[in-house]
């Protein structure tokens, strides 16, 4: 369940908390340590530095960009633009551990071309290997169910064995393998189906 209040003592369990100006510091410190929040740009120091600079220049603006839904224009005539609903959460064990984001186009399970599935997540390197990503994905499922999604699509790179394991531990079933327009055509992706409720 998402909580506003950040717990204090570090534990081996995580909660999901909504990003706010009060807890942005952990994200800032992670950027300053060279962590790139975009899994597709993990080694991209320039990107991480640019994000850090933007955050420090305008904290409120940075936060609002992070949590605001995107307007997606449609090329189909007579269709109103759609909103890509974006719900990011910090993964929190008393300190900032990473983030997990739910994104979806209300009313459809399809995605705009640049969006790689319903979920994005990353754990900072110094908090990895503690089961945090798996816990976070499991915590996101009721939130997705509440948003009207009976199942979600989760995508990872074929060679991202840790992420694959996370998705499988959370109950994801491999549907297919292939490329995705959200990334380079040279990168093979695994497409998982993950039910949000266990009946």
Ligand X SMILES: CC(C)(COP(=O)(O)OP(=O)(O)OC[C@H]1O[C@@H](n2cnc3c(N)ncnc32)[C@H](O)[C@@H]1OP(=O)(O)O)[C@@H](O)C(=O)NCCC(=O)NCCS
Chain residues binding ligand X by CB under 6 A are 39, 42, 121-123, 128-134, 156, 160-163, 165-166
Nearest-approach distance from CB 68 to ligand X, in angstroms = 22
The DSSP-derived string for the chain is -EESSPP-S--S--EEE---GGGHHHHHHHHHTT--S-GGGTT-HHHHHHHHHHHHH-HHHHHHHHHPPEEE---STT---EEEEEEEEEEESSSEEEEEEEEE-TT-S---TT--SSEEEEE-GGGTTSSHHHHHHHHHHHHHHHTT-SEEEEEEETT-HHHHHHHHHTT-EEEEEE--TTS-TTS-EEEEEEESS--
Give whichever of 32 and 162 is closer to ligand X, judged by the CB atom. 162
Give whichever of 40 and 59 is closer to ligand X, judged by the CB atom. 40
Nearest-approach distance from CB 23 to ligand X, in angstroms = 19
Nearest-approach distance from CB 194 to ligand X, in angstroms = 12
Give whichever of 115 and 166 is closer to ligand X, judged by the CB atom. 166
Give whichever of 61 and 125 is closer to ligand X, judged by the CB atom. 125
Nearest-approach distance from CB 184 to ligand X, in angstroms = 15
């Amino acid at each position: 369940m998402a909580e506003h209040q950040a717990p204090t003592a570090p534990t081996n369990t995580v909660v999901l908390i909504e990003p706010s100006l009060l807890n942005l510091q952990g994200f800032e410190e992670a950027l300053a340590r060279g962590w790139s929040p975009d899994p597709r740009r993990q080694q991209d120091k320039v990107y991480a530095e640019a994000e850090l600079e933007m955050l420090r220049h305008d904290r409120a603006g940075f936060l609002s960009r992070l949590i605001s839904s995107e307007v997606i224009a449609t090329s189909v005539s007579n269709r109103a633009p759609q909103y890509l609903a974006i719900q990011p959460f910090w993964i929190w064990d008393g300190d900032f551990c990473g983030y997990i984001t739910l994104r979806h186009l209300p009313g459809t399970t399809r995605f705009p071309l640049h969006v790689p599935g319903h979920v994005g997540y990353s754990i900072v390197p110094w908090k990895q290997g503690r089961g945090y990503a798996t816990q976070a994905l499991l915590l996101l499922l009721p939130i997705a169910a509440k948003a009207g999604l009976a199942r979600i699509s989760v995508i990872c790179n074929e060679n991202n064995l840790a992420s694959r394991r996370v998705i499988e531990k959370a109950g994801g079933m491999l549907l297919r393998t292939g490329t995705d327009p959200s990334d380079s055509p040279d990168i093979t992706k695994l497409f998982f189906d993950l039910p949000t409720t266990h009946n």
